Structure formats: C-alpha cells, structure tokens
Structure 1
Amino acid sequence: MNRKSQSARSFPPVPVIIPHMNPIPRLISKTKLMRGYRCLKCIYLTIHEPALEAPVTPDLQALFDQGNLVGDAARKQYAGGELVDNKPWDFTGALARTRELITAGSPIIYEAAFEYMGCYARADIIQYSPETKRWRIYEVKSTTKVKPEHLDDVGLQAWIMAKSGLPLEKIHIVHLNPDCRHPDLTHLFVEVDVTERIRENYLEIKPKVKEILTVIRQETVPDIDIGPYCLSPTECGFTSHCWPEKKVPETSIFNLPGLREKKWQLYYEGIIQLDDPRLRGLNDLQERIVTCFKTGERYLDRDAVRSALAAWKFPLVFLDFETINPAIPRFAGCHPFQHIPFQFSVHVWQSPDSAVTHLDFLHEADDDPRPSLISALLDACQTQGSILAYYSKFESDRIRELADFSSEHSEALVNLLERLADPLEIIRASVYDNAFAGSFSLKRVAPALLGQAYSYEDMLVANGGDAQRAYEELVSARTSPERKKLLKKAMLDYCEQDTRVMVELVKWLFNVCRA
C-alpha cells in the first residue's frame, strides 16, 4: 500500500501537537532513518515521543544478538581488517577513527562510520581496491536471501558514504548460505552484487531523506494512517499507540485468519468491526468466527469431533519438541536456521479408563543433542497408538530431519510419522470460542476451553523463544550451578505444560462427544 492510499481513512485526521518537542539530534543514525522509510509517523515518534514505543522484547533482542554473531562470523571471511571499536553512541569518535584508518591506508575496515547532511551510517565491512582506488561495501544480513528492505537499507548507507566523499566501486549484500552444511563453514556466506539495483533508485534517496528531516522538524505529528508497514517486515514498536488512535477494537477484522491483504482493503473502506453488515466474501472459518462474535456463543460440532476422534488409536502419545535454530550451524550436517530438538515431553494415555503417565528428555550439554534424544524419543513413543502433536507439521518435520540424520534409527523414526495426528485440526474445524480471538494457538485455546489454570502466565519459561534462550544459558560454561538448576526446572515445567494441556484438551473433546 503506497502512501497516497493512506488518504482513504476511516476517521477524520486530528492534528496532534507535541507540546515540548525534543531537540533534533545533530546526527540521525541510518537505523532511525529507515524507520522514516517505513512510516513518517514512526520516525517522528522515535525522535519526539520515544517513551510511547514498546520496550524491546526478549525475542527481538535475541534477533539483535544473532545479527551480531553473524556479523562477527563475516569478519572472519573478510579477514585482516581494522575494527572501528567505538561505543554505539560515540558517533564523533567513530567518525574520527574511520578517517584515521582510511588515511593510514587500511585495506579493510569493519564498522566504518560516515556522515552526510546529518545522516549517520556504519558499514559492516568496506574493502579498498588498489586497482580502481575505490571502495567496496559488504553489508551483512542474518538471513538466507536478499529481502526488499535490505535494498533500501544498503542504498541509504551507500548514499551517505558516497556523499561523505568515499569513492565507491561495488555494493554487496552478504547473507547466509542456505546450502552451507556443518562442519564445512567455508561457504557460510553468499555475496550478492546489488550495485545496479541500488543505482536504479539512487536518485530517489535524497528527496526521501529531505522529506524525513522536514517531517521531524515540524510541530505536529504527521497524519499517517496505519497500514501493512505497521506489521511488516516486523511489528512497529508504536502499534500499541497508533492503533488505538484509529479506534481499532481488541477484536476486529485483523483477527480473522487467512484474510491476508484483504484486511487492509476492508480497513481502508472503513470496515473494521466484525459485526459490520458490509463484511462479505468470507470463507467458512471466517464466517464462523464472525457468527460467534455476533451471538456471543461458542461453536461446537460434536458429530465432526466424534468422527475425527474415531480415527485415533490408543494408547495416545502426546508429543512436544523444543528446538534451537542457530543462524550459524553447530552440528554435523546442519544448515543455517535448521531446527535441532534438544528437549521433548511425552504424556501417554494407555486407555480411556487408565491414568496418564509422563516422560521427558532434556539435553544438558553443549554438544549435539540428537543422538541421545533419538534413543529417548523412540523409547517414549512406544510402538503403537496415535502420536498427538499440536500443529503436528512442526513435529513431523523435526522427526523427518532426525531420520535423515540417523541412518541407524531412520526406519523407526519414519514409522513415527505414520502415527501422527493433530488435535489442532479438530479444534480449527469443529470448535470456536470468542476467547480464541481468531487464534488457534495452544496458549490461546487452552485457557479458553479449560480455564486459566491451563494458561502459561507467570512461568519463567513461557514460550518457545524463552526455551531457546534458557537452553543456551543452561549449556553455557559461564552459568552457575544454581542458575542451571533453576533453568532446568523451568524448561521441564514448560515443555510438560504443553503436553499436559494437550491431554486435557483431548479429554475435553472426548467429554463433549458424550454430552
């Protein structure tokens, strides 16, 4: 959606005046300027109302940390350089050190700093070419391909560097190679020459920068409507401020699964509420959600539930994995971002009248967890009965990867795949409660159907991201024994909660069939 379409608003614009504007920084970083590329209101609030921005989440911080690790690895590929090792906020010192290194003839510089027209950028890697007497830019991205937003980012950076007086020869984006396999990391990165692609839009950069600088100097917040840029490529930190301004209710068209870009078309037409009579052209699931919203009643198709459950075979084995997916592969045969299971929880329900037993596994060392996990998994899953996993595609993909890894256990692991079944499919097709708010995640469904006792609130490890970070801390030699003990218990509790909640959900499904 381009900015011109933002004039089609559902509510009349109301100028918002900032009573005490923050002083404009002498230098504005490329990171902040890119917020202006995304949304002029975002950059304005970043400068003048930073307290309105949501705090950095642990998941987002983990992405930042991951990017730093990938950047460090890239320097080894472009070895022999000098690092401009100034603090992130020391713009003046970094600029001065960069000038020193260029003057001294350093052929490779890491984190070189440049400034032009109040815009400040640091380049991951620059390399001097004695033949052309020009410099090459290597901007490192912790992804496995070049993304559109990367081109805007490196284009702005190249513009700042060129305008500051640095003669440029080539511009490269360096990203992780999806075909790289551990332990051979010599091909960890792919180099993509984007010089021509940057040149195509080069003349658009200065007008965009001038627009951004003009906007942040005005006294009123720019009247920019919400749009796809609020959520992509990542969620903006100001959504909790901007969306209520536009009267978007807690449950709206944005909660309807599968609407994709149609939700923005509806929004710009003023169709936001789920009970809006103009809301048309929905699929069966979306219609069901709207009907439940209007009536306030739960949807339950007992016959469909009964039919689906009839295909399951006791004993029922409830399975959940926890995984890490490091950007830089660590274990044999792994590629960047490959999920490696390090933990599982299994509950076994032998028969409708029997008690449920629990088994678990947690790898506690920093070596490859797969060999020991596979043996424990095959023992825990027994040899018969349905294996239930919520969103079973995740578990099936992991089991298939484990089968590819272990020739010894490949056949036994593949046999597990034939037994997989998914409670999520039954819930999505046959059950809906308004408390789901359009989501069928286990963490949303369980409290809605079973009560708050089955929520994940107040758990030290409360989601998959928490589990990943806890595992990295658990296996670190720097972690104290007391901390490791606390982490281990929290990780076991969380993974057990996932399968325990599944057990209770399935029991609930069996019970509603008898009603």
Structure 2
Amino acid sequence: MTKIYKSKISKEDFKVIMTTCFKSAWITYNKENFLQALEWKKNKKYEYFIENQIESEEDFNSDSSSIDLFETYNDLLNDNFNENKEKLKTFDQHWTDEEGFVLEKFVGEQIENGNAVGLAAREYYSIINAKENLENKLNKKILDLSDETFEKALKSTTQNLTNKEISYIFEATFQYDENNFKTRCDILKIKENRHVEIIEFKATAKVKKEHFFDLLYQVWVLEKNGMIVDNVFLGHLNNEYLTDYGSVTKTEIEEFINSFGEINFLDIKDFVNNDFHVEPTKEKIDVDYNKLFIIDENFKNYKKGGIKIIDSINSFREVNDLDELFSKYSDMFSWDKNKIEKYFDFDYCDSPFIFNNNILKWENEFLKNENNCYCFHVVKWFDKNRQTLFNIPNLANKTKAKLYKFSDKIYLDDISSLDASYFPLNEKNKSEFNEKHYIFFDSYKKYQQNGFQINWSDCVNKQAIGELNNMLNLYKNFPVYMYDFETIKWAIPKFALTSAYMQIPFQYSVDIIYDENFDYNNAENTMKHFDFISKNKKDPRPAFIQQFLKDMFSQGPGVYVAYYKSFEKNVLKKLAFLFPEYAKPLLFIAQNTIDLMDFFQGNKSENRSSFLIYHPDFAGSCSIKKTQPALDPKFSYKDLKINKGDKASQTFREYVEGLVDENAWKKLIKEDMIKYCNRDTLAMVVILQRIQEIFNDFRKENPQWIN
C-alpha cells in the first residue's frame, strides 16, 4: 500500500508542534536531525532553547534545574565517557520510542512516576471492571497488552476489538498509514459496533494543554482505523487525597496553620527542653484509587467555565482540518537541509495553539497576534557563555527574541543603553524593561568599563542602602540557624499520610552562627553544625521531626534562615498539619524563618528592592547556584560525587525502593549525600559573610552613603 503521508509524525511530535514550536519538534524528531542541529550549533549558525519547563510542585527539584537537551548530551559525551556509555545508549533509544522523543524522560523519577501511575491505573480499572461485572451479572474480561511489543499489541488489539467478551483493553495499540502514525491508549473501553471510549492517564495533578493534543492525536488515529470515539477522559492525580486520612484542601491546611496565631517561644519552651519521641507512621498503607484518581471529561483545572474534552476536540476540528495539518507537517519533516535552514531563519513560532478562555476555543497564536510569537527556540547563534539579552531576568524569552531580532544586538558588551532607539517598545508603547533589568544592565556595564575586574563597591545597590543595612541587622539576632532540606516525592503515595507529589523531607543540614566571629573558612571552630539523613527505608518524617526540633532549638530560639524560604516553610507547614502534636515548635520555626534570597529577590508587595547586592556573574539570576559562586568562586561543589539536589533526591528514592545495595549505601553513598547537603548550608554562610564583608568595605569607602 502506498503511503499517504511523506513522513511519520509521532504523538510527541504532534504535541510539541501544537504547544511549543515546529522547530523544536524537528530537532527532536530523530537522531539525525538532532546531530544536524548540534553541528549547526558547533558551526556557530544557530543557538537553541530546547528545555523542559518547571510549572508546579510535581516538576520541582531542590535545585530547580530544568533539562537542556544539548548540555545533557554533551555532558554525557565529555564527562567520563566510558561510565556514560549506557546512558548514551538509553539516550539513543529515546529516538525510537513509538510515542516519540520525550524530553522529560531524562529525569529518572519522572519515568518511574509515569510507570507507577500506569500500573495503578490498570489496577484501578481492573477493580472497576470487576464491579461492573458484579452489578450487571457479566463475566467480561480485560486484555492487558502493557508488556507486549508494539507489533504484538497491534495484532492483538486488531483481533479483539469486536470480541464481545472484552470490556477494556490496556495499552490498546493502533497505527495508520503504514506506521507513519502510532499510538497506544492507556485504557480503551470497548463498546458495541466499534464504538469506544479513551481514558488517558497522566502522572500529574495538573491538567496541561499538551494533554488535549495527546488525546486529539489518539482520536484521529483511531478514527482512521474505523473506530467511533464516543467520549474521552483524562485520568490524573488528586493531590488533595492523603493516604489513611482522606481529602484535605490547601484552605483547610491554611486554616489549621492560622489557628495557632503567632507562637511565642514560651509556649513551646517546656516541650523543646524535654525529651520526646515521635511515633513512626503506619507501615502498611492502602491507597484508595477512587480518591487518588480524578477521571475528568472536562479540562476543569485548565480553563474557566468548562467544556467536555470531546466537544473541544470537535470544536477544534470544525476550524482546523486535521488531515491537512498532518499533511503539512509531514511534508515539513521531509524537507531537505536547505529548506529547514530557511525555516529556522523565520523569526516566529507559527505552529502552536492557545486556548481562549473567553470563547472556549483553541486559536493559532501566530494568526491571532504574531507580535507575541517571536521564536526563541531557534535563534541566530551567539555565545551562551557571554552575557546576553537572554540573561536579563524576569523577561519572557519570546520578548528577548523580539529584542534580538529588531536590534540585531545580543551581547551586553555591544548594547549602549536599554533605552536605545534600536529596542522596540511594547504594545502599550512602553519600554520592555523594568527596574530589575536596569540594575542588571548597569552593573554589567560598570564591570565592562573596569576591564571585567570586579569593584565590590559597585555590587552594592546604592538606592537601597537602608534596606541592605536593615536586612543585615536581622542576622545579628543570634543564634542564626542556616538550614536546608532534601526531599523526595512519589506520584503514587509511598507512606501513610502522604499525597501525590508531596515533598517528603528525608535529610537536613543546619549551620548555627552563635556570634559575629563566624567564618566559613574556619567553620569547625566558629560555628556549630548538625545534620540528619534517614537511617532506613521507612517513612523518614518521624525521625526527621524528632532530630530536627532538637537541633533547631539546641542553642535556644533564634533567627532561622533558608534559601527560597517558601519551600522549607511549606514542608514545615505540611509536617505541622500531619503531625499536630509537634505543630507549635514546627510552626515557630516556620514563622521565624527569613529568606537569604531576599538580598537578591525583590518583592513589590513587601516594598523590597531587587538585588541589594548584585554581581554581574549572577547573570540576572537569584539562584544560589549563581549567587554563591559569584561571591566566592573558590567555594564549590566540584569535588562532590553528589552535587545536585535532584541527584540526591533520586539516589534516596532508589535506596528506599531497594535499587541500591545496602552495604554500598552505608559505606559510600550515604556519606556523599551528607556531604552534599552540608555543603548547601555552608554555601548559605558564604553568601551572608561575603555580603557583610562587601557592605562593611563599602561603608568605609563611602561614608557619604551611610546615614
């Protein structure tokens, strides 16, 4: 049979085209395209921003890092190549996945979470099938093809679509146009006369727009196989469900927290000064799938009003001919190198659709307003190691791409002013830049004028001297407890009193500053240090709470300091709610936690300026991975085997799940984990000490600035 379409289009290709950019989809289409893109990058033709996005808690790791595809690949090639051979082999296998290339699969726990949700979904629908049989006095069976190859599953699906003994097919498999289009349906409900319903499961608590195009692709392929899709459903996780508790909303948790009011140390003094024992949680748990899963036929969490997914699919197809869309992009995937280069030179992303909440319809973003669609996924090459427009903080990448296109300037070295006439104004005829951008830019230009030799006085925000002085004074209320958590999360709850993607603390480090003579270069003699890591594979929280409270009051009450405090505070609040006997001391710490990042991160509602201290090497970022190395480049993580939060989290997860040898854990890995977390809190001390030193030198050199 002659193929209708020139090139294959996987489900993942389609999702990327419709939600992100065809250029991104072309790069990840196959290994040949990726290597061609890599060659263009090496030859200084194009630069790329092909990254996964962190949108919610379930995507969050303690270092908040996203995945850069090209960096990941180069790291595997250049860093311990022999050790990475297996990882490179796995990398290559992603190009042949029937569903297409999925960037998120490079995060280990996301693969594991996806597999766990898939297994739980099949167990759930096995229970549903048994209930339906009991209620209707039937004996219908399930056909489970989850362990079959694509070819075997395809054959079995075809043979059983009209089998009246089958009620559900797990991983029902279809192809169209000689395998140019392939899909597997997580759960396919079989009805009479080739009528079906699709139930797609996602390892997420949040409904995302790519889920719509996932289902749209499946419906189209099934219809090409003569199926009639009556309805489609999206199964996702209910993160308000707590095992061995029931459902609880964020509002209920906040009401519980607020009921304590402001906690005085005298209220908890007797408790923290006496011995106490936190009882372990129940080991055996029952996960209620009826409460864990939400089976939505609407995009309830994605948009206002609500519209059935199947109705939204039909609405989309009334305006957009899917046959034509697939034909168009199939042709584009077959373009030769010259045609693709010309398309890469096109300044816009013209393929993605957005959902218009006002009219409950999907619209092509480019056709609606091309000025909002400047492409940043593929741009004219520039050196990412230099400071550029793309380092400007809190500015949309599409806006940066627009500024680059109009000005033809990318390096800060070549930009005279952010007010220069070569930068276009926005649709309101105003500058695209704000206060934070000017601080960032002016600091860099001074750095440039000084021959890229840092003048530390220039790092002080002279418009906010009072703020900086007041903030430093907060750290004189000794003792000062610098603390940091490492957490782990599961899509399917692992322990009692946990929910999907709940951040479960298993490790902490605390550095305690007890007077003004502290020195991170002599930490052992000028500070106190405590650390903890779970000793076994059970729920780590009871032991965590017990040791944490003892250590955090060991020098009496004080100032508690975290970096990006909302993370640690949210963990403490959840612990307080779930372990109410210890709520007061936990909440006392949360209430008295200040944020070291406040030296850098502005906040209009709190009337706090951005970057009280700014070094050009921050590159516009407030991340500790940028601020600490800039303030003291000699202090690093390079000597550590575990040197990232996501790696620590994944390692502990593997230990809990029995994938790490117990002897290896005790003799080698555990110590590496402790070293990493300890380095995090010492890095916080580095930041505070360096800010104090910079400000003290500034005051001596510039007495006119000090009241």
Give the TM-score of the pair, scaled to structure 1. 0.86
1:101 aligned residue: 160
2:433 match: secondary structure:
coil
CA distance 1:161–1:492, shift in 2 (3 Å): same
1:483 match: secondary structure:
helix
Q: How does 1:365-514 map to 2 (within 5 A)?
A: 365-382=536-553, 383-428=556-601, 429-451=611-633, 453-457=634-638, 459-485=640-666, 486-514=668-696
CA distance 1:91–1:368, shift in 2 (3 Å): closer
- Aligned residue identity for 2:153: A
Mapped partners of 1:437, 1:232: distance in 2:
32
Which whole-Å deviations, capped at 9, do the CAs of 1:383-426 have from their partners, x for residues lacking one? 31111111111111111111111111111111112321112111
Mapped partners of 2:650, 2:392: distance in 1:
31
CA distance 1:459–1:229, shift in 2 (3 Å): farther
How far residue 196 of structure 1 moved from its aligned partner, in angstroms, is: 0.9
How far residue 303 of structure 1 moved from its aligned partner, in angstroms, is: 5.2
1:8 aligned residue: none
Mapped partners of 2:312, 2:479: distance in 1:
58
User: Would the aligned equivalents of 1:144 and 1:176 in 2 still touch at CA under 8 Å?
Assistant: yes
How far residue 268 of structure 1 moved from its aligned partner, in angstroms, is: 4.9
User: Would the aligned equivalents of 1:474 and 1:487 in 2 still touch at CA under 8 Å?
Assistant: no
2:173 aligned residue: 113
- Percent identity over the alignment is 26
Which whole-Å deviations, capped at 9, do the CAs of 1:187-234 have from their partners, x for residues lacking one? 11111111111111135222211111111122131614576899999x
Mapped partners of 1:226, 1:333: distance in 2:
50
User: Would the aligned equivalents of 2:483 and 2:561 in 1 still touch at CA under 8 Å?
Assistant: yes
Mapped partners of 1:258, 1:43: distance in 2:
26
Aligned length: 483
Instruction: Return the match for 1:34 from 3, 12, 15.
Output: 15
CA distance 1:228–1:334, shift in 2 (3 Å): farther
Q: Does 1:126 align with 2:188?
A: yes
User: Would the aligned equivalents of 1:86 and 1:93 in 2 still touch at CA under 8 Å?
Assistant: no
CA distance 1:398–1:253, shift in 2 (3 Å): same
1:316 aligned residue: 480
Mapped partners of 1:231, 1:303: distance in 2:
47
Instruction: Return the match for 1:67 from 103, 114, 121.
Output: 114
384-393 or 75-84, larger mean C-alpha shift: 75-84
Mapped partners of 1:268, 1:487: distance in 2:
49
- Aligned residue identity for 1:129: K
Mapped partners of 1:377, 1:309: distance in 2:
26
Mapped partners of 2:478, 2:695: distance in 1:
17
2:33 aligned residue: 49
How far residue 116 of structure 1 moved from its aligned partner, in angstroms, is: 1.7
CA distance 1:271–1:346, shift in 2 (3 Å): farther
Which whole-Å deviations, capped at 9, do the CAs of 1:424-458 have from their partners, x for residues lacking one? 1113431111111111111111111111x323335
How far residue 91 of structure 1 moved from its aligned partner, in angstroms, is: 4.0
Instruction: Return the match for 1:185 from 265, 269, 288.
Output: 288
Instruction: Return the match for 2:445 from 287, 294, 298.
Output: 294
User: Would the aligned equivalents of 2:7 and 2:330 in 1 still touch at CA under 8 Å?
Assistant: no
- Aligned residue identity for 1:196: D
359-368 or 493-502, larger mean C-alpha shift: 359-368
2:434 aligned residue: 283
- Aligned residue identity for 2:381: E
- Structure 2, unaligned runs of 5 or more: 39-68, 74-90, 92-103, 127-140, 245-286, 298-308, 355-374, 424-430, 448-453, 519-525, 602-610, 698-707
CA distance 1:246–1:348, shift in 2 (3 Å): closer
- Structure 1, unaligned runs of 5 or more: 1-23, 234-238
Q: Does 1:327 align with 2:491?
A: yes
1:256 aligned residue: 392
Mapped partners of 2:542, 2:184: distance in 1:
43
2:323 match: secondary structure:
helix
How far residue 342 of structure 1 moved from its aligned partner, in angstroms, is: 0.9
User: Would the aligned equivalents of 2:379 and 2:401 in 1 still touch at CA under 8 Å?
Assistant: no
Q: C-alpha root-mean-square deviation of aligned residues, in Å?
A: 2.9
How far residue 25 of structure 1 moved from its aligned partner, in angstroms, is: 9.1
Mapped partners of 1:432, 1:113: distance in 2:
55
CA distance 1:108–1:341, shift in 2 (3 Å): same
CA distance 1:240–1:195, shift in 2 (3 Å): closer
Give the TM-score of the pair, scaled to structure 2. 0.63
How far residue 36 of structure 1 moved from its aligned partner, in angstroms, is: 3.6
User: Would the aligned equivalents of 2:24 and 2:377 in 1 still touch at CA under 8 Å?
Assistant: no
1:341 aligned residue: 505
1:14 aligned residue: none
CA distance 1:414–1:422, shift in 2 (3 Å): same
CA distance 1:460–1:206, shift in 2 (3 Å): farther
1:310 match: secondary structure:
helix
Instruction: Return the match for 1:307 from 460, 470, 473.
Output: 470
Mapped partners of 1:292, 1:226: distance in 2:
30
CA distance 1:287–1:295, shift in 2 (3 Å): same
132-141 or 266-275, larger mean C-alpha shift: 266-275
How far residue 476 of structure 1 moved from its aligned partner, in angstroms, is: 3.1
Q: Does 1:200 align with 2:315?
A: yes
CA distance 1:414–1:459, shift in 2 (3 Å): same
- Aligned residue identity for 1:392: K
Mapped partners of 1:229, 1:68: distance in 2:
34
1:430 match: secondary structure:
coil
Which whole-Å deviations, capped at 9, do the CAs of 1:254-294 have from their partners, x for residues lacking one? 32222236435534534653425245452222111011222
1:462 match: secondary structure:
coil
470-479 or 261-270, larger mean C-alpha shift: 261-270
User: Would the aligned equivalents of 2:487 and 2:503 in 1 still touch at CA under 8 Å?
Assistant: yes
1:49 match: secondary structure:
helix
Mapped partners of 2:352, 2:552: distance in 1:
40
Mapped partners of 2:446, 2:352: distance in 1:
30
1:173 match: secondary structure:
strand
Mapped partners of 2:663, 2:17: distance in 1:
46
Q: Does 1:245 align with 2:414?
A: no
Q: Does 1:169 align with 2:230?
A: yes
User: Would the aligned equivalents of 2:23 and 2:378 in 1 still touch at CA under 8 Å?
Assistant: no
Mapped partners of 2:506, 2:315: distance in 1:
46
User: Would the aligned equivalents of 1:322 and 1:495 in 2 still touch at CA under 8 Å?
Assistant: yes
User: Would the aligned equivalents of 1:461 and 1:491 in 2 still touch at CA under 8 Å?
Assistant: yes
94-103 or 243-252, larger mean C-alpha shift: 243-252
CA distance 1:227–1:288, shift in 2 (3 Å): farther
- Aligned residue identity for 1:191: I
2:220 match: secondary structure:
helix
User: Would the aligned equivalents of 1:363 and 1:373 in 2 still touch at CA under 8 Å?
Assistant: yes
396-405 or 32-41, larger mean C-alpha shift: 32-41
- Aligned residue identity for 1:441: S
How far residue 460 of structure 1 moved from its aligned partner, in angstroms, is: 2.4
